[in-house]
Amino acid sequence: MKTEILGIRFDNLTRQEAAQQGAALLAENKFHYVVTPNPEFILACEKDPDFRDILNRADLVLPDGIGVVYSAKILGTPLKERVPGIEFASDMLSCLNDMGGRLYLLGAKPGVAQQAGQHILDRFPNIVLCGTRDGYFRDEEDVLLQVAAARPDLLFVCLGAPKQEKWMARWGAHTGARLAIGLGGCLDVFAGNVERAPDAWQKLGLEWAYRLKKEPKRIGRMARLPLVLVKAAGQRLRGRQRGGEE
């Protein structure tokens, strides 16, 4: 079941349910893509209807940011829980490991995808790492040819939004992969270059604050995020006025 939050139709699933649905996509012999929008995506979509369309056409739309979960609550259509992209990615790696499947890592600065791949293989030794490539390229088609030649089952596309979603929507079906996931900065985390917030921060919904503490230069990007909550409140109030609730 989909829940619409400010124009994006999210799948309302627990992490476990998302993992089950992801596993089914990975088992099916055709291309699928999964997106993991956070509040920055919602703001970007306001100016970029193509991006919104690409998100809404995805096979799974998972709420990556706590701001999405709060917005859903404000709108009166709560989501079951936050499903962080990195956790969904780990669940898919576990599934791929059981299958002995092939993984391609696309994105991040030179050398990062390779390092991430090494760490992933340490945890999931049955996976075949069939290729890696950094995310700073000009020729999209050339990247497609490299990915397709590696014949992946699972493809992580980590180019930042909306580049990664646009790449998946345009080229994904030609890669031969069964499942591509847009995962932002996840390769930096798998590589060990960026640390995730400790559990206590995550449980309090403060992963964003921990990230800001570690990377203060993100303040400019993050300063706009409460806007999403304001927009959700505005939409709720307008809905009530129209519905004559108050």
Binding positions for ligand UDP, rule: CB under 6 A: 107-109, 135-136, 158-160, 163, 184-185, 187-188
Q: Are 44 and 184 in contact (CB under 8 A)?
A: no
- The CB-of-184 to ligand UDP minimum distance in angstroms stands at 2
The burial class, CB within 10 Å (0-12 / 13-18 / 19+), for 125 is: exposed
Least distance (Å) between residue 110 CB and ligand UDP: 10
Q: What's the farthest any 2 CA atoms get from each other in the chain?
A: 60
- DSSP secondary-structure letter at 126? T
Shortest separation between residue 165's beta carbon and ligand UDP, angstroms: 11
- C-alpha 168/C-alpha 181 separation (Å) is 8
127 within 8 A of 103, measured Cβ to Cβ = yes
For residue 28, the minimal CB distance to ligand UDP (Å) is 26
Nearest CB to ligand UDP, comparing residues 136 and 230: 136
Nearer to ligand UDP, 109 or 123 (CB): 109
Q: Which is nearer to ligand UDP, 93 or 158 (CB)?
A: 158
Give the Cα separation of 111 and 46 in Å (integer).
34
Q: Which is nearer to ligand UDP, 99 or 227 (CB)?
A: 227
